[in-house]
C-alpha cells in the first residue's frame, strides 16, 4: 500500500481547501512525489532486522484487519439477532390473531351452512311486511359484507404469517453463515498472532544488546518525526470550519483518550538515555480509544515502530497522536468529534503489553499531555 500518498490524495480532494481544482491537482502531484520518496526511505530494507520489521508490519496489519472483520460480523449478528426476536414476536402475535380469526371464520361458515344458499329468497318468502323485508335484506347484506371481511382478514393474516416465517428462516440461515465466518476469522486471528509472536522472538534475539535497542528507538522516533513534519507541511493549506473550537482554549479541560494506568511521565528519561515525548496508557485490549478534541483524520495507517497509528489535526498547528492500536475505526479525511471512538487499544508496533501511546504536538513539537488533559 502506498502508505502516505493515500493520506494526502484523500485530504486534498476535500472541498475545504481554498484552491482551484487545477491548483489542487498540481499540489497533489508535488506531494505525491515528495511522499513517495519519503515512503521508500522509511520502508527500505537494509538488513535482516528491517525485513523482520516488515514481516511484523504484515502480521499486525493482518491482525488489525481480522479484528475489524470480527467486530463487523459481531455487530451484524447482534442486529440480526434483534431482528429475529422482533420477527418471532410478530409471528406470535399473528398466530394469536390467526387462531381468533379462525374461530370467527368457523362460526361464519357454520351460519352460512345452516341458512343454506338461498338466504335472501327465504327471507322474502317468510315475511309479509315490505318494510320489515327491506330491513331484513339490509341486515342480511351487512351480515354478508362482515362475513367477507372476516374471511379476507383471515387470508391476509395467513399470508403475513407465511411472509414472517420465511423471513425467520432466512435470518436464521444468515446467522448460521455468520457464525461459521466468525469461527473462521477467529482461527485466522490465532494463526496471525502466533506468526506475530514468532517474528517478535526473532527480533528480540537481534536486539539483546542495549546498543541495538537504542538504535531501534532512535529510528522509531526519527521516523515518527519525519512523518509529523511532512503531514504538517502537507496540510498547511487546509481550512478548518468556522465553528471549530480553538484547541488552545481547551487546555486543561480535555479527557484522556482512554482510562488506564500511565506507564511513564512526559520527559521522563529512559534507561537508554532517550526521553519520553508522550505518555503510554495501559488499558485492556480492544478498549475504545477516544478523540480528545474535534479534528480531522490526517493519518490512519501502520507506521513502523508505532503500529496502527491515528493522527488528528485540530487546527492552528495542533495535532494529537494515538499509537500501538489494535485497529483504527476512522478513515483519512474524516472529521471526528470530541469523545468519539477512533481506534481500539492494542499492542501493535511490537509492544509486549496492550496500551496506547499518546502525544500532543504543536507545530511538530511535543507537548506535555498532563497540561492539556485532566484527571
For residues 311-319, average pLDDT:
91
Chain centroid to CA 310: how far?
A: 14
Closest CA to 68 of 331, 334, 332, 352: 331
Domain covering 8-44+207-372 in this structure, CATH number: 2.70.70.10
Least confidently predicted of 23-32, 165-174, 296-305: 23-32
C-alpha cell at 231: 503531514
CB 140 within 8 A of CB 120: yes
Q: Is 139 exposed, middle or buried (0-12, 13-18, 19+ CB in 10 A)?
A: exposed
Top-confidence residue, 249 or 114: 249
Q: What is the pLDDT of residues 241-295, one digit of tens each?
A: 777 889 999 999 999 999 999 999 998 987 667 889 999 999 999 999 999 999 9
* Residue range 29-78, pLDDT digits in tens: 555 456 556 656 655 555 556 677 777 777 777 877 878 788 877 888 78
In the predicted structure, residue 145 carries a pLDDT above the cut 70: no
- For residue 122, is pLDDT > 50? yes
Give the model confidence (pLDDT) of 354-365 as tens digits: 999 999 999 889
Q: What is the mean pLDDT of the chain?
A: 76
Closest CA to 304 of 59, 26, 10, 36: 59
User: What predicted TM-score, i.e. pTM, was given to this entire model?
Assistant: 0.61
DSSP letter assigned to residue 12: T
Residue 173 CA, distance from chain mean position? 24
Helix, strand and coil percent figures for the chain, each rounded to 5 = 60, 15, 25
* CB-based contact 265:276 (threshold 8 Å): yes
What SS3 state is found at 300?
strand
Domain definitions of the chain by residue range: 8-44+207-372, 77-192
Amino acid at each position: 500500500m502506498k502508505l502516505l500518498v493515500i493520506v494526502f490524495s484523500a485530504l486534498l480532494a476535500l472541498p475545504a481547501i481554498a484552491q482551484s481544482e487545477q491548483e489542487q491537482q498540481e499540489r497533489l502531484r508535488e506531494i505525491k512525489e515528495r511522499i513517495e520518496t519519503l515512503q521508500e526511505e522509511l520502508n527500505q530494507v537494509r538488513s535482516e532486522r528491517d525485513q523482520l520489521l516488515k514481516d511484523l508490519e504484515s502480521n499486525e496489519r493482518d491482525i488489525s484487519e481480522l479484528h475489524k472483520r470480527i467486530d463487523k460480523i459481531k455487530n451484524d449478528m447482534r442486529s440480526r439477532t434483534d431482528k429475529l426476536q422482533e420477527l418471532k414476536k410478530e409471528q406470535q402475535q399473528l398466530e394469536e390473531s390467526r387462531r381468533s380469526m379462525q374461530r370467527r371464520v368457523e362460526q361464519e361458515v357454520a351460519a352460512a351452512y345452516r341458512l343454506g344458499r338461498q338466504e335472501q329468497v327465504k327471507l322474502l318468502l317468510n315475511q309479509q311486511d315490505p318494510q320489515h323485508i327491506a330491513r331484513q335484506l339490509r341486515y342480511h347484506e351487512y351480515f354478508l359484507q362482515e362475513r367477507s371481511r372476516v374471511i379476507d382478514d383471515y387470508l391476509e393474516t395467513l399470508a403475513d404469517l407465511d411472509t414472517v416465517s420465511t423471513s425467520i428462516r432466512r435470518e436464521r440461515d444468515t446467522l448460521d453463515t455468520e457464525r461459521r465466518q466468525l469461527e473462521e476469522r477467529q482461527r485466522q486471528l490465532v494463526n496471525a498472532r502466533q506468526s506475530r509472536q514468532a517474528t517478535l522472538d526473532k527480533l528480540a534475539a537481534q536486539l539483546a544488546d542495549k546498543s541495538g535497542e537504542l538504535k531501534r528507538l532512535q529510528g522509531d522516533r526519527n521516523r515518527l518525526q519525519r512523518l509529523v513534519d511532512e503531514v504538517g507541511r502537507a496540510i498547511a493549506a487546509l481550512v478548518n470550519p468556522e465553528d471549530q473550537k480553538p484547541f488552545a482554549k481547551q487546555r486543561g479541560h480535555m479527557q484522556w483518550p482512554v482510562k488506564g494506568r500511565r506507564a511513564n511521565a512526559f520527559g521522563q528519561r529512559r534507561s537508554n538515555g532517550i526521553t519520553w515525548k508522550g505518555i503510554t496508557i495501559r488499558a485492556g485490549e480492544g478498549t475504545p480509544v477516544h478523540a480528545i478534541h474535534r479534528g480531522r483524520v490526517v493519518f490512519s495507517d501502520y507506521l513502523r515502530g508505532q503500529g496502527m497509528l491515528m493522527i488528528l489535526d485540530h487546527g492552528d498547528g495542533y495535532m494529537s497522536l494515538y499509537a500501538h492500536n489494535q485497529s483504527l475505526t476512522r478513515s483519512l479525511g474524516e472529521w471526528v468529534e470530541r469523545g468519539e471512538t477512533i481506534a481500539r487499544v492494542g499492542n501493535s508496533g511490537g509492544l509486549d503489553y496492550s496500551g496506547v501511546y499518546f502525544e500532543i504536538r504543536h507545530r511538530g513539537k511535543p507537548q506535555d499531555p498532563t497540561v492539556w488533559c485532566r484527571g
